[in-house]
Structure 1
Amino acid sequence: MTSSETTAGGIDPRPVVGRLPRYAAGKPPAAVEGLASYKLSSNENPLPPLPAVLEAIAQQTDFNRYPDPLSSRLRAALAEFLQVPAEDIVTGAGSLGALNQILAAFAGQNDDGKADEVIYAWRSFEAYPISVGLAGAESVRVPVTADGRHDLEAMAAAVSARTKVILLCTPNNPTGPALTTAETEAFIRTVPSSVVVVIDEAYQEFVRDTEAVDGIALYRKYPNVVVLRTFSKAHGLAGLRVGYSIANPALTQHLRVAATPFAVSQIAESAAIVSLQNFDQVVGRVQSLVDERVRVVGGLRDLGWAVPDAQGNFVWLDLGEASADFAEQAGARALSVRAFPGEGVRVSIGEQEANTRFLELCANYTKAPRGS
């Protein structure tokens, strides 16, 4: 630790903080003369919120008041939209905030000093190890398969008496494949009913695989299943931080205790409600991005590149040691992408021009992904 990183008076954080990775947000693109810059590094929706949503945001004025801590209006709207009881919904600051509430309630360090275990695939969402560690629990990472899928058999074998939570990210960020209904249900049946199974569906609206799992269908069937969803991606409300979990009352009663008060602002609640009311327009925008995803994946495969099944709003390039170099070359073309050094590169589906420029880079890049 450098002198600039030390704290006054020798104050140190909890030991776990020093062992955790730091979340690396996608960087904005560098300015390159003569080129429009595009950010393809954060899986953001490149389209702005719907006009009706922007109007609702502009009309909000009551910021001198605290928001409703239960997000009652939003929960009522979601209950009608999803056909689930409102009491089964707990809102949070994005799906990550909702996840942190789940971990705070069900996984951590126990009175005997032993840490619970949380199992998840790896590589998966990079916030998982941070959230698990800060909750006081211990991460159990199970490597994904060569084609970027969850190895559910290995995950089932990793379950121990200390396992309290399992995280299933579908589609998996950053690799792309979605879990199927059949494999997910078979997996849940092998897991003790005392283990909370979280189905993280941040990109659910982008999925087109007809065999893909529907977390809500499984929450209706299995009392230990919790579903995570968000307004950040399909609805284009990432900056407003509004997400939610869906679970049976036996679980939500504890999640409400762990929930961060006032996590969803009144502006975020109103925006999310209006976006739901205009969901047909959201669907149209999502489909335009799915069409671009199909074009990008097809273009990559036409170039001979091996690309895992892409069911989110991003593609994964298994570039290994060439990952940092590829990101640097993308930056020289005014494109920011998300490199995981030594592993691969995740590229978000963006504007048509950005996607075309990305394909042009790939056509001239000599170090194709592993498996090509």
Structure 2
Amino acid sequence: MTAPTIARPGVRFDLALSENPFAPLPSVLTALDGVMRQAHRYPEFLPDRLIEIIADHGGLEPDQVVVGAGATGVALQIMHAVAGPGERIVFTAPTFDGYPILARIAALDAVPVPILPDGGQDLTAMAAVIDDRTRLVVVCRPHNPTGTLVAAAELADFLRRVPERVVVVLDEAYVEFVENRLVLDAHRIVAEHPNVVFLRTFSKAYGLAGLRIGYGFAAAALARRIRALKLPFGMGSAAVPAVTASYSAERELCTRVSAIVAEREKLWRTLRAAGMPVPRSHANFLYLPGAGVGDTLARAGIHARTYPSGDVRIAVGNPDAGRAVIDAIRPTVRGSAAVPRASASSGRA
């Protein structure tokens, strides 16, 4: 799998990176202005203050938390901490572009498991390919790039089947876009499964992708193994004030997330009505299946993340971009046969 391409000049809407369409919240921008006036000073040698802030907000102990340069940075720390060259990592294909890239960096053998026809992750197949060389399994919830959601009961059964020596990364980069009733009981899962590490980020819902702030949490013993590889001075000075201000602006954040979700649902319903079998998404993007979809969007000046199958992923939240997508797609699918009800959702939520 290749890295995402960069939008060319003349693109009307760049929807390839599932970015938040909103700029950081005003209070966050004010906090960042203050820290930039101290940019001649080094940040903390190790990010203890940031860990304390995240732990306190999440009801965790500080020794359960690890931080890094985005969720990607934490994921690489995890790989280096628990696996060695030639050992294996299992994930769904397609998946977040970072996982195959990071696997190569860590010299791990990647074992991709194809997604199901409805866009869901095949946890049965993933469990079946675990062998003596497997050290890591990644489950995205919601899945990137399809947006589908593994049901809590199905995940619980999967975790019981995974050997304790295998670390399971539960990638929740988009958890803020998931309905509250469908969010996992992370504290219980960590308590019951000391081989599970949750992965989260401030890049998506919080709109801080450019600051590269991610974190993970797990049982203390596993977290300590991961944190042992932390790079000194590795987190920029902006992290503490940005996270602090973001947590203080939770109500404004929820308003923004609600607006993105509303736009996602509107676009999903419209595309489904036009005859495109778009899976039900629980993230801030939609997965549009079909060869040639990327070319269709590109001709309309819309940059999307395109996969080898021809399917694409587009970020949602900007109503103008949504209307442009509909205008581009509708003529290509109008008159198509009705889509079977089963493919409207992953059926896993």
Q: Is this a same-fold pair by TM over 0.5? A: yes
Q: Give 1:353 deviation, angstroms.
A: 1.1
Contact kept, 8 Å, 1:76 with 1:86, in 2: the verdict is yes
Equivalent positions of 1:23-172 (< 5 A) are: 23-25=3-5, 27-28=6-7, 30-31=9-10, 37-60=12-35, 61-109=37-85, 115-172=86-143
Which protein has the larger Cα radius of gyration, Structure 1 or Structure 2?
Answer: 1
C-alpha displacement at 1:41, in angstroms? 1.1
Whole-angstrom CA distance in 2 between matches of 1:170 and 1:346: 16
Aligned pair in 2 of structure 1 residues 369, 120: CA closer, same or farther (>3 Å)? Answer: farther
For residue 244 of structure 1, give the secondary structure of its aligned residue in structure 2: strand
- Separation of aligned partners in 2, 1:371 and 1:74: 51
When residues 214 and 296 of structure 1 are mapped into structure 2, their CA distance, relative to the original with a 3 A threshold, is: farther
1:246-280 residue CA offsets vs partner (Å, 9 max, x unmatched): 01111122112222222220112211121011112
**1:84-118 C-alpha deviation (Å, 9 max, x unpaired):** 11111111000000000000111122xxxxx1111
**Matched ranges for 1:140-289 at <5 A:** 140-208=111-179, 210-289=181-260
Partner of 1:348: 315
Cα distance, 1:297 vs structure 2? 0.4
Work out the CA distance in 2 between the residues paired with 1:279 and 1:370. 43
Deviations 1:115-139 (A, max 9, x none): 1111111111111111012101110
Identity %, equivalent residues? 36
- Using the alignment, how far apart are the partners of 2:337 and 2:92 within structure 1? 20
Q: Provide TM-score, normalisation by structure 2.
A: 0.91
Q: Cα gap change, 1:370/1:105 in structure 2, threshold over 3 Å: closer, same or farther?
A: farther
Superposed CA RMSD in Å reads 2.0
Q: How many angstroms does 1:340 deviate by?
A: 1.5
Deviations, residues 311-366 of structure 1 (Å, cap 9, x unaligned): 1100001113x1442242232xxx22111233411111031111111112121224
Moved over 4 A (4+): 366-372
> Aligned in 2, Cα 1:126/1:293: closer, same or farther, shift over 3 Å?
same
Which residue is 2:344 aligned to? none
Q: Could you tell me which amino acid in structure 2 is paired with residue 330 of structure 1?
A: A
Normalised by the size of structure 1, how large is the TM-score? 0.86
Equivalents in 1 of 2:228, 2:335: separation in Å? 49
* Counterpart secondary structure, 2:66: strand
Other-structure match for 1:12: none
Q: Deviations along 1:209-267, whole A, 9 cap, x unmatched?
A: 73453444412321111000000000000000000110111112211222222222011
- Name 2:347's counterpart in structure 1: none
SS in structure 2 at match of 1:199? strand
Counterparts in 2 of 1:370 and 1:203: CA distance versus 1, 3 Å = farther
**Matched letter for residue 48 of structure 2:** S
Change (3 A) 1:127 1:351: same
Q: CA deviation at 1:64?
A: 2.1
Instruction: Rate the CA distance shift 1:368–1:150 in 2: closer, same or farther, 3 A.
Output: farther
Aligned to 1:15: none
Offset from partner CA, 1:186-228 (integer Å, 9 cap, x none): 1000011111010000000001273453444412321111000
Residue matched to 1:325: 295
Segments of structure 2 that go 5 or more residues without pairing to the other structure are 340-349
Task: Judge conservation of contact 1:305–1:368 (CA < 8 Å) in 2.
Answer: no
Aligned position for 1:359: 326
Provide the C-alpha distance between the structure 1 equivalents of 2:289 and 2:135, rounded to a whole number of angstroms: 31
SS at match of 2:228: helix
Aligned-partner SS, 1:266? coil
- The structure showing larger relative contact order (alpha-carbon pairs under 8 Å, at least 6 residues apart) is 2
Q: Is the 8 A contact 1:170 1:201 kept in 2?
A: yes
By how many angstroms is 1:66 displaced? 2.0
Q: Secondary structure at the match of 1:273?
A: helix
Give the whole-Å Cα distance in 2 for the aligned partners of 1:119 and 1:370: 36
Cα 1:62–1:206, aligned 2, differ >3 Å: closer, same or farther?
same
> Tell me, what secondary structure is at the counterpart of 1:57?
helix
